[in-house]
Amino acid sequence: MKKKQKLLFSCGIILLLSAYGLLAGFTFSKMAEIRSSKSKVLLQESQKEVNSRKSIALAQLALLLEADDEGYLIAGEKAEIAGYNDIAASYYKKIKTAEGLTILGNTYLKNNQNKEAEEAFQKALNKEEGLKALTGLGTVYLKQGLAEKAKKSFDRALELVKDDENALSGSKLADLVLDQQILDEKIGSDSINQQLQKIVQTPTLSTRINLLFEYLRENNYPQLAINFLQEKERVGQLDRDGYLLLANEYFLERNYVKSYQSLLSAKTKDLYYPQTYQHLIEVAKLLGKEDEAKQYQDFLKIISW
């Protein structure tokens, strides 16, 4: 009898514990459902909120309730809109998909963090070969002055989407830098591609070089611009204005010796151009070449008379 009572008691305890377990599981599941629902409501409110700080705060609250890719994406976008690029990047880093890594790469790209952008785009492409990651990587290579790598990345993007404007303009820009002949009569329809088309249609090689250099500079490709101009100097394709542009680049880098050499080359191309002598006087003085500076000054007076 006692054995039966013990057995029944043991069975009762087991059933009671099982009931508590089921109840706890049900409660936990219900709470998770409530948290998820509340998180989604907060994310919706975050997207509607005009005040950027309040919007980010709402997104952060949503992530505390339920951390997922959607929440990280919205929080990152809101932080980026508010100008908090580092905070945005910290959210995007938590998204491990190819899309998230591509967005992270573009954030780094906007912030001129080219090394970090390249790494993010490469990781995205390791997961999935996508158009945005390929064009992003191509842009990074252009910023790093690596036209050949950029060309390959843009061309691969065009294999995926043949009419993509960003990939098309990037590929043609790389072509121009690499001095490839562009056979297409039309590069693209947007304003950037129209600028490239104008450069392509310029008949004089030296003028085309100068226009392309200025385009690269204006569009935030400084390293590619200087690499391009140096290569054209190496093969002897610069005119007077090209050498003056190169001299200015060296001057900005405080490399006065090379700036002076480029100015002398400009003088050789056009002996009577006053602006060359104005720069020569300035750089000669910086190099301690007072006698030469005086000679240039005297000659400048003669040709400016």
Q: What is the tens place of the pLDDT at every residue in 161-192?
A: 988 988 988 998 898 898 755 444 444 445 55
Report the C-alpha gap between 278 and 254 in whole angstroms.
17
- pLDDT tens, residue by residue, 144-165: 999 999 999 999 999 999 889 8
pLDDT given for residue 146 in this prediction: 94
pLDDT given for residue 129 in this prediction: 93
Residue 215: both structure tokens together: 């385009």
Residue 5: count of CB within 10 angstroms of its CB:
9
pLDDT given for residue 82 in this prediction: 78
- pLDDT tens, residue by residue, 213-222: 999 999 999 9
Better-predicted residue by pLDDT, 260 or 168: 260
Report the C-alpha gap between 187 and 171 in whole angstroms.
10
Q: How confident is the model at residue 25 (pLDDT cuts 50, 70, 90)?
A: low
Query: Is the whole model's pTM more than 0.95, yes or no?
Result: no
Residue 212: both structure tokens together: 């392309």
> Taking 60 as the threshold, does the pLDDT of residue 37 lie above it?
yes
CA distance readout (Å), 202 to 101, 211, 300? 40, 9, 32
Helix (H), strand (E), coil (C) string for 6-25: HHHHHHHHHHHHHHHHHHHH
- pLDDT tens, residue by residue, 228-253: 999 999 999 999 999 999 999 999 99
CA nearest 169: which of 178, 158, 179, 160? 158
Helix (H), strand (E), coil (C) string for 174-185: HHHHCCCCCCCC
> Taking 60 as the threshold, does the pLDDT of residue 86 lie above it?
yes
Mean pLDDT of 199-220: 89
Report the C-alpha gap between 60 and 53 in whole angstroms.
11
Lowest-pLDDT range of 39-43, 83-87, 102-106: 39-43
CA nearest 238: which of 268, 202, 198, 200? 268
The continuous run of DSSP H or E covering 152 comes out as: helix 147-160
pLDDT given for residue 58 in this prediction: 76
pLDDT given for residue 286 in this prediction: 97
pLDDT given for residue 28 in this prediction: 54
Report the C-alpha gap between 193 and 203 in whole angstroms.
18
Give the DSSP letter string of 75-92: HHHHHHHTT-HHHHHHHH
CA distance readout (Å), 158 to 98, 138, 161, 167, 172? 19, 12, 5, 6, 11
What residues contact residue 260 under an 8 Å CB cut-off, 6+ apart?
247, 280, 283, 284, 287, 289
Lowest-pLDDT range of 169-178, 191-200, 251-260, 266-275: 191-200
Mean pLDDT of 272-287: 97
